[in-house]
Amino acid sequence: SSSKLKKKVTKTQEAKKILKKKFKVNTKIVFTEDGELVQQWPPVQKSNLAKVDEEDDGSGINLDKVKEILREEDKFDKEEYRKKIKEKHR
């Protein structure tokens, strides 16, 4: 009777399996023919605080640290956006 009652695997159960195996999903990396990195999605965090936070393996999420990291990342994003707009206007 147990073989008749197989449960359907849900999307959340599949996602949990993937997380347990530590696969990198939803990433895209584009290289040139020379093998140089052109584009990576999601973008790598550039701030020094983000690198320090990855090394610091504390329990839970520290909201103050995360806010500060996002502020620094915004600076890099704004600079890239400015460059993009300047190229567009040329």
Q: 3-class SS at 88? A: helix
Provide φ and ψ at 3, rounded to 5°.
-75, -25
Which pair of structure tokens corresponds to residue 3?
């073989």
pLDDT in tens, 30-81: 778 887 777 666 666 666 666 666 656 566 677 888 888 888 888 888 988 8
pLDDT of residue 85: 92
Q: Which of 81, 73, 80 is nearest to 48 (CA)?
A: 73
Rounded to an integer, what distance in angstroms lies between the CA atom of residue 6 and that of residue 84?
53
3 vs 73, higher pLDDT: 73
